[in-house]
Amino acid sequence: MSVQPIRLFGDPVLRAPAEPVVDFDKELRTLVKDLQETMLDAPGVGLAAPQIGVGLRVFSYHVDDVLGHLINPTLDLTDEELEDDEGCLSFPGLAFPTVRAYGVVAKGFDQHGEPVTIEGTELLARCVQHETDHLDGVLFTDRLSPLKKQFMRRDLDALARGELPEGYHPGSGGSATEGGAI
């Protein structure tokens, strides 16, 4: 179990839909621990397996002092929406106003194959939606309006070339969350 390198914008693994987990074994438990350690080290409030190069439907989260994970998630979203700044560990140093559902009920499994339900609003809902998007090969920048994308293109192009934003240091990126990027 160890901190893993986080894949950055432009890495093709971030665009590939992840495969469902079928084996709830020791290897999966190691992946969950690696996700949690990497996320906490970054620091972030969520991290999906594709962000460390693993194409499985697994993510970890750390919101309101609750550390958890979810495997093979399915989401039920509220109709009410909320726009807030959102960042991503794969987009270091960048955050953009992003619209998400205000609340979520997420169902899936824990690392032992036991059913889990996560219910939350605001930051937890945003985190669960963001990480589930990663599992589908969707990036939060895909959810920006065309006008916002146009304004952010320069920063996104720099990241795609492997250039970090001026003044970037690990853990500096992020949303309006205390823990940094999602």
Q: Which amino acid is at 105?
A: V
Please give the positions annotated as active site.
131
CB atoms within 10 A of CB 97: 13
For tokens 């605001």, the residue is 122
Beta carbons within 8 Å of 28's beta carbon, 6+ residues apart? 21, 56, 58, 71, 111
For tokens 């160890």, the residue is 2
